[in-house]
Chains A and B, each alone.
Chain A
Amino acid sequence: MATIAPQKIATVFRRPEATTGFWSWITTVDHKKIAVMYGYTAFGFFIVGGIEALLLRIQLAGPDGTFLTAAQYNGLFTTHAVTMIFLFVMPMASAFFNYLLPLMLGARDVAFPRMNAVSYWIFLFGGIFIYSSLFFATNPAPLGGNLPGGALDASPLGSIPNGGWFLYAPNSGTQFSPGTSIDYAALGLQILGIASLISAVNFIVTIFNMRTKGMRLLRMPVFVWMTLIVAFLLLFSLPIIAIALFMLTADRQFGSVFFVASSGGDPILWQNLFWLFGHPEVYILILPAMGMVSEVLPVFSRKPLFGYPAIVFAGGAIAFLGFGVWAHHMFSSDIPTVAQAAFGLSTMTIAIPTGIKIFNWIATIWGGRIRLKTPMLFSLGFVALFVIGGLSGVTHAIVPSDWQQTDTYYIVAHFHYVLFGGAVFGLFSGLYYWFPKLTGRMYNERLGQVHFGLMFLGTNLTFGPMHWLGLQGMVRRTWVYSADTGLGPWNMVVSIGAFIIALSIFVFMVNWTWSKRKGEIAPNDPWDARTLEWTIPSPTPEYNFGVEPTVTALDDFWHQKYDEDDEGRAVRRPEADELVDRLIEANGNPTTEIHLPAPSYFPIIAGFGMMLLAYGIIYHTRPWGIPLIVVGILMLISSLLGWGGEPLEEVHEEHLDGQGDSDHDPGSLDPNQESTPRELAGVED
């Protein structure tokens, strides 16, 4: 190994030492702790975004609603979308990536543990930054316009960003949105983008470099593959939105005129840039869920995934094609006819690889022995609901039809089916599936099924009628509709559905909090699973694998437990139970010294500095604006350099040599002997 001479470098702070409690979380670089923080933060934002949706639905329950003002409504649908997409689905997926990548690859951590922490803190402060607009931002009427009662600024809740989640220019310019609320959105998204970019690099390197022995690319679980694809999508789409947001910020803060039509600017350029990012983004949202479903379906059908290479390849194809369809969001915009036709065609082609996935999933469960446990229910729900959203997506690709549909609730129905029925169902499937891994306990199955039932019902009640509403002419982003449009009754149904979803989420929260503490202790291999994360104790020990695993096949763990008979049916090996126990035992009691990366303060400092910098940019004309920028940059630089120079020696001081020293039998394992799990368990090939 490359030994490093201990360096004496003056650091500003005392080296963090806590391993439990508050400070351990602040300074942690453990991918599992970071995953947990990601998960809870994201879920918190989900509740926020959900409550925003409920407010929208209260307003729309009947015609001419008066529950919200226009400014409040416009703000709420904007933050609802930003929250759900950037602060819930993406970071929740990131939580899973963080937790599972190393476990599925047989690694002890991600490639860059500290960058991982940086990414989390930047994300958190980005979210806080966006929501701080609630207190600090201003939202006056467009220049020359008047607010009700002669007010100068929108009502308190109306100060959140309000340009719609894609912030179309020129409405997002200073002339039409003179306050600071749009700046909060633009810079907030910028910050979140940086966080995602960092994780993307981290995950790619982790997947390429941190695989355990024998873990060839085509032996990686599909979830890992989807992570890799998502990371590449991020890597190539984020720079585009970064530029777009910089241009918007420059227009708003420094007087450039990219999107100012009266100065020759080009509002349609914004649309092109946004959707060039935005469409890959929707696959960034769905592919992680597709990965999870691809893990859950085989396990609960007790069959291997049907067409593994096809599913992997289809994922790649979706991502690749996803960069060539962006203008389908602009069919009624100012684009040439030829482009409309071309983008209509390219959009249709995406249905092909997606179909491949759907059909392979169905073939996976076909002929299986399907156990309808909660994770499975959610995965099946995913397939059922995603298909609905996908099919309505294809009807948008019929360009002239889309001229009728675009900007109506028909679109809103489409994307909630794929996002909520798709991505969110997938995420819940994952949350239940890996709950025992995370907590060492089982969730309550009955409550889980109630959650699924309510959520499935609620989803269809909420988003199903939206198709109809859209075709009947209900336009999106309208804070009121008049009674004479006749849209009232179905809107009521939609609003009731939303509250049923809320109830289901409440059931989930009860289940989670209760089971985490009081649930039954989970068995070692509760689902009779196929992937490496189930060969180690639950909850996962800090060092993941006591013994570095070696894999010899896809679904190696399963093949250690099962043989096939002449008919090709799975037959559990007689020694399988013992094998699992021994694996868990061995992995829980490492004998070699395991070096863990040292905790650090710098990630949180970097995140905080980023936020200060953003405030500084918004308020750069105030006396304290420039100082804020300077402080922010200094914090960024110092954490960058400080962390580059942070000493590594405590790696040697703080090493772990097995948690349960007392019940650890040193004789059972020879630290110097590299053993495969099979050998460990005494399985002969």
Chain B
Amino acid sequence: MSDIVHDDLTESADDHDSHGHHESTGVDNRKLGMWFFLSSEFLFFGTLITNYLLFKGRDFGPGSIYPVEFYDIPFTSISSFVLLMSSLTMVLAHAALVRGDQNQTRTWLAATGMLGLVFVSGQFFEFTEFVNEGLKLTTNPAASAFFLLTGFHGIHVVVGVVLLLSLWGKSVRQPGGLSPEQGLSVELVGLYWHFVDIIWIVIFVVVYLIQ
């Protein structure tokens, strides 16, 4: 990204600042931006989860069915574990990059992306199961809220996978591996990835486990 130019400006200015203190935070723009973006995302998922909790126990008349009745906790536990592991591989990827080990970085990036894909596939499988068994988006508001929540989480995972794979692609294509600039991207994608992961843990606990 182009924003490096500014770091250039401020840094060079700092060099000449004998008092040595510059007021700005010292955190990279992009990292700071990502943090604030994620804080907004927190509310996004907070609203979705609240929404589901509001609807999950309501009475929708005789014969109403609820997502709870369809959960396959062992299955979801496994896919949750997969996602959790992907956070670990993400950490490994970043650590490798810090060490300057481009090969390992590449491997772990790919692994993270693959684990993400596995999770999304599991999610997709779960959805089709539910639909086959009769729980659809259109069934009742609780079902609608369930699909909206998990669906949006799924979309977030997919976006993360796209970002991971594009980084992986770059590290494969570029002879020297990832540049330091792209190293920052790894860190940012990592932040995002961990966030998506944490949100899933919350969803898993609040939506699946606590009934």
User: A: which residues have CB within 8 A of B?
Assistant: 1-2, 4-5, 7, 29, 107-109, 111-114, 197, 200-202, 204-205, 208-217, 235-236, 238-240, 242-243, 246-247, 250-251, 254-258, 263-266, 269, 273, 548, 594-598, 637, 641, 643-646, 648, 651, 672-674
The residues of A that contact B23 with a CB separation of less than 8 Å are 211-217
Q: Which residue of A lies closest to B5 (CB)?
A: A595
Contact, CB under 8 Å: B24 / A264: no
Known: A2-B180, A644-B185. A201 touches B6 (CB 8 A): no
Q: Beyond the given A112-B1, A256-B147, could you list 19 further A-B residue pairs with CB under 8 A, ordered by the A residue number?
A: A1-B7, A5-B176, A114-B1, A197-B37, A209-B32, A213-B17, A215-B23, A216-B23, A217-B23, A239-B47, A240-B43, A247-B148, A251-B144, A256-B141, A257-B144, A263-B140, A263-B141, A598-B2, A672-B16
Interface size on B, residues (CB 8 A): 61
User: Which 7 residue pairs are nearest across A and B when measured between Cβ atoms?
Assistant: A256-B144, A239-B44, A264-B60, A674-B16, A1-B8, A597-B2, A255-B138
Known: A236-B40, A239-B40, A243-B48. A257 touches B6 (CB 8 A): no
- Complex: A672 Cα to B179 Cα, angstroms: 30
Contact, CB under 8 Å: B29 / A111: yes
User: B: which residues have CB within 8 A of A?
Assistant: 1-13, 16-17, 22-25, 27, 29-30, 32-33, 36-37, 39-41, 43-44, 46-48, 51, 54-55, 58-61, 64, 137-141, 144-145, 147-148, 152, 162, 166, 170, 174, 176, 179-181, 185
How many contacts A-B (CB < 8 Å)? 172
The residues of B that contact A209 with a CB separation of less than 8 Å are 24-25, 27, 29, 32
Contact, CB under 8 Å: B2 / A243: no
- Complex: A646 Cα to B181 Cα, angstroms: 12
Residue in contact with A243 in the complex, picked from B6, B8, B47, B64, CB distance below 8 Å: B47
Q: Which residue of B lies closest to A259 (CB)?
A: B141
Contact, CB under 8 Å: A208 / B4: no
Contact, CB under 8 Å: B174 / A7: yes
Q: Which residue of A lies closest to B41 (CB)?
A: A239
- Complex: A212 Cα to B44 Cα, angstroms: 33
Residue in contact with B40 in the complex, picked from A213, A238, A264, CB distance below 8 Å: A238
Contact, CB under 8 Å: A4 / B47: no
The residues of B that contact A595 with a CB separation of less than 8 Å are 5, 8-9
Contact, CB under 8 Å: B60 / A1: no
A470 to chain B: closest CB distance in Å? Answer: 33
Contact, CB under 8 Å: A114 / B2: yes
- Complex: A243 Cα to B149 Cα, angstroms: 10
Q: Which residue of B lies closest to A545 (CB)?
A: B9
Contact, CB under 8 Å: B24 / A208: yes
The residues of A that contact B17 with a CB separation of less than 8 Å are 213, 674
Main secondary structure of the interface of B (DSSP, over half): helix
- Complex: A264 Cα to B1 Cα, angstroms: 48
Known: A2-B181, A256-B137, A258-B145. A205 touches B29 (CB 8 A): yes
- Complex: A251 Cα to B140 Cα, angstroms: 11
- Complex: A214 Cα to B23 Cα, angstroms: 6
Q: Which residue of A lies closest to B173 (CB)?
A: A9
The residues of B that contact A598 with a CB separation of less than 8 Å are 2
The residues of A that contact B5 with a CB separation of less than 8 Å are 109, 595-597, 648, 651
Residue in contact with A264 in the complex, picked from B27, B46, B64, B166, CB distance below 8 Å: B64
The residues of B that contact A247 with a CB separation of less than 8 Å are 51, 144, 148
Residue in contact with B144 in the complex, picked from A5, A250, A648, A674, CB distance below 8 Å: A250
Contact, CB under 8 Å: A29 / B7: no
The residues of B that contact A107 with a CB separation of less than 8 Å are 6
B113 to chain A: closest CB distance in Å? Answer: 14
The residues of A that contact B55 with a CB separation of less than 8 Å are 266
Contact, CB under 8 Å: A213 / B13: yes
Contact, CB under 8 Å: B181 / A4: yes
The residues of A that contact B13 with a CB separation of less than 8 Å are 213, 548, 674
The residues of A that contact B152 with a CB separation of less than 8 Å are 246
Contact, CB under 8 Å: B4 / A254: no
Q: List 17 A-B contacts (CB under 8 A).
A: A1-B7, A2-B180, A7-B179, A111-B6, A112-B3, A112-B29, A204-B32, A209-B24, A215-B23, A247-B144, A250-B148, A255-B137, A256-B144, A597-B3, A598-B2, A644-B166, A648-B4
Contact, CB under 8 Å: B166 / A108: no
Contact, CB under 8 Å: B60 / A263: yes
- Complex: A308 Cα to B74 Cα, angstroms: 59
Residue in contact with A201 in the complex, picked from B3, B25, B36, CB distance below 8 Å: B36
The residues of B that contact A236 with a CB separation of less than 8 Å are 39-40, 43
Residue in contact with A4 in the complex, picked from B4, B37, B51, CB distance below 8 Å: B4
B90 to chain A: closest CB distance in Å? Answer: 18
Interface centre among A239, A265, A595, A643 (most CB of B within 10 A): A239
B153 to chain A: closest CB distance in Å? Answer: 13
Contact, CB under 8 Å: A201 / B27: no
Contact, CB under 8 Å: A205 / B32: yes
Known: A4-B181, A113-B2, A595-B8. A273 touches B36 (CB 8 A): no
B52 to chain A: closest CB distance in Å? Answer: 11
The residues of B that contact A651 with a CB separation of less than 8 Å are 2, 5
Contact, CB under 8 Å: A4 / B179: yes
The residues of A that contact B145 with a CB separation of less than 8 Å are 258
The residues of A that contact B6 with a CB separation of less than 8 Å are 107-109, 111, 210
Q: Which residue of B lies closest to A548 (CB)?
A: B13
B109 to chain A: closest CB distance in Å? Answer: 15
Q: Which residue of B lies closest to A206 (CB)?
A: B29
- Complex: A648 Cα to B2 Cα, angstroms: 6
A84 to chain B: closest CB distance in Å? Answer: 25
The residues of B that contact A7 with a CB separation of less than 8 Å are 174, 179
- Complex: A674 Cα to B179 Cα, angstroms: 31
Contact, CB under 8 Å: A1 / B11: yes
Contact, CB under 8 Å: B24 / A246: no
B204 to chain A: closest CB distance in Å? Answer: 20
Contact, CB under 8 Å: B170 / A645: yes
The residues of B that contact A208 with a CB separation of less than 8 Å are 24-25, 27, 32
- Complex: A266 Cα to B37 Cα, angstroms: 30
- Complex: A74 Cα to B68 Cα, angstroms: 42
Q: Which residue of B lies closest to A592 (CB)?
A: B12
Contact, CB under 8 Å: B166 / A641: yes
- Complex: A112 Cα to B55 Cα, angstroms: 40
- Complex: A229 Cα to B6 Cα, angstroms: 24
- Complex: A269 Cα to B13 Cα, angstroms: 52
The residues of A that contact B47 with a CB separation of less than 8 Å are 239-240, 243, 273
The residues of B that contact A202 with a CB separation of less than 8 Å are 33
Residue in contact with B179 in the complex, picked from A5, A246, A265, CB distance below 8 Å: A5
Residue in contact with A112 in the complex, picked from B33, B59, B61, CB distance below 8 Å: B33
Known: A205-B29, A213-B23, A644-B185. A246 touches B148 (CB 8 A): yes
Q: Which residue of A lies closest to B140 (CB)?
A: A264
- Complex: A637 Cα to B58 Cα, angstroms: 39
Residue in contact with A235 in the complex, picked from B7, B36, B54, B162, CB distance below 8 Å: B36
The residues of B that contact A597 with a CB separation of less than 8 Å are 2-3, 5
- Complex: A29 Cα to B2 Cα, angstroms: 10
- Complex: A77 Cα to B43 Cα, angstroms: 31
The residues of A that contact B51 with a CB separation of less than 8 Å are 243, 247, 269
Residue in contact with B39 in the complex, picked from A4, A235, A254, CB distance below 8 Å: A235
Residue in contact with A210 in the complex, picked from B24, B44, B61, B137, CB distance below 8 Å: B24
B177 to chain A: closest CB distance in Å? Answer: 12
Q: Which residue of A lies closest to B39 (CB)?
A: A235
- Complex: A238 Cα to B43 Cα, angstroms: 9
Contact, CB under 8 Å: B180 / A254: no
The residues of A that contact B41 with a CB separation of less than 8 Å are 239
Q: Which residue of B lies closest to A198 (CB)?
A: B37
